[in-house]
Structure 1
Amino acid sequence: MTARWIPPEEYVKTIANATSYAGFYFTDTAGRPIQLRAVRNEDAWQWPGGNMDPGETPWECALRECFEETQMAFTGPQKLLAVHFITRGSHWPLNKFGVIFDGGRLTDEQIGAIVLDPGEHTELRVHTLQEWEELMSPVGFARLKAADHARHTETVAYLEH
C-alpha cells in the first residue's frame, strides 16, 4: 500500500492534542523549596509558571510567567529539571505537557523583593520537603520532589500523572 501525503492542516486533526505549561523551580539558599498559593485553589501550591501562549517556547513562557506572577526578571541559565505529562480526564479535556526549569537559589533579599500578582497567588512560603509534603496533594508533592531530586542529582526528571 502506498502512503498518501496529507496536508499539515488535515494531518494535525488526526494526532493527539495537548496543552502545555512551563515554570521555574526556586529554593532559598538553604535549598528549601519556594512555592506560591494559588488563588483559584487555595489547596494548590505551585511555583511561578503557567500555560504557554501560541507561538511561545517553553523558555519564553517560563520567563513571562515568572515576571507576571512575581515581578522577578529571571536572568539565569536555561537548565531543564523536569518534563511533566498529565493525562486528560474529568479535570481537563486534553493531555498536558509541562517543562520545569531550575530557577536556582534565591537570597532572602530576592525572596523579599517578590511581588505576587494578587489575581494569581495569595502568599509565598518557604518550607523543607518534609513540611511541603504535609501541605500538598500527593500529585503536587510528587512533582515538587521530582524537581528537587533532579536538581540534587543533576539529572532530568520525567513524570506522568
Structure 2
Amino acid sequence: MSDDEYQRSLPRTPAAAALLLFDEHGRVLLVQPAYKQDGWEFPGGVVEAGETPAEAAAREVKEELGLTRPTPTRLLCVDWMRVREGEPGGPRMVFDGGLLTWEEQQAIQFPQEELRAWDLVDPADVDRFLPPERAGRFRAALEARASGAGTAYLEDGLSLT
C-alpha cells in the first residue's frame, strides 16, 4: 500500500475545542448556534488543519463573538464522543477561558449567520440549555477548574471513574 493509500484509509475523526468563559458571578457563557433549531453550546468549533486545539478554541471565540482571547493553557476536559446520527464523533476538548470582563461582554458581536444569541448561565441551570452529554462535559470541566486537579476524561459525556 502506498503512503497516499494508507493516509486515505485512516479514519477521519474531527476534533473540536471550546473555551469556558465565566463572568464575575461565576456564570458561564453559552452560545445558540444559528445552524441548530434548538440547543446551546460552548463557544468553540472544529480544529482546522495546521492548528492545535487550544489555538482552535481561541480562533473560534474570535470568529463567533468578536473577542480576542489568549490561547488557553489549561485543558479542563476531554470527552470522546462516539459517532452517531448527525454527529461525526471524535474528541471534544474544553479549555479554561478565564474571566470575561464586563467590557468584553459589552463588546460581543456575533455573525447572525453563525449565532442566534449568547447568554451567561448559572452553572446550576446548564441542564436547561445543554443536552446531557454536554452538561456532563461542563460539570466535569467545572470540577477540574475548581479543584485544580488534572484534566477530566469522559466518553459520551460520562466519567469513567
TM bucket (normalised to shorter chain) is 0.7 to 0.9
Aligned counterpart, 1:3: none
Aligned counterpart, 2:63: 68
* Runs of 4+ with deviation above 2 angstroms: 6-17
Cα distance in structure 1, aligned partners of 2:98 and 2:21: 5
Aligned counterpart, 1:22: 17
Tell me which structure has the larger Cα radius of gyration: 1
Aligned counterpart, 2:159: none
User: How much does 1:28 deviate?
Assistant: 0.7
Residue 47 (str. 1) matches residue 37 (str. 2): no
TM-score by length of 2: 0.85
User: How much does 1:80 deviate?
Assistant: 0.9
CA contact (8 A) 1:45 1:140 kept: no
1:1-150 paired onto structure 2 within 5 Å: 8-13=3-8, 15-75=10-70, 77-92=72-87, 94-150=88-144
User: How much does 1:14 deviate?
Assistant: 5.0
Deviations 1:31-61 (A, max 9, x none): 1111111111242211221112222221221
Question: What amino acid sits opposite 2:43 in the alignment?
Answer: P
CA contact (8 A) 1:17 1:95 kept: no
User: How much does 1:69 deviate?
Assistant: 0.4
Aligned residues: 155
User: How much does 1:18 deviate?
Assistant: 0.8
User: How much does 1:7 deviate?
Assistant: 5.3
Cα distance in structure 2, aligned partners of 1:57 and 1:89: 25
Query: Where does the alignment leave 5 or more consecutive residues of structure 2 unmatched?
Result: 157-161
Cα distance in structure 1, aligned partners of 2:16 and 2:70: 19
Percent identity, please: 29
Task: Please provide the CA RMSD for this pair.
Answer: 1.9
SS of the equivalent of 1:65 reads helix
Question: What amino acid sits opposite 1:115 in the alignment?
Answer: Q
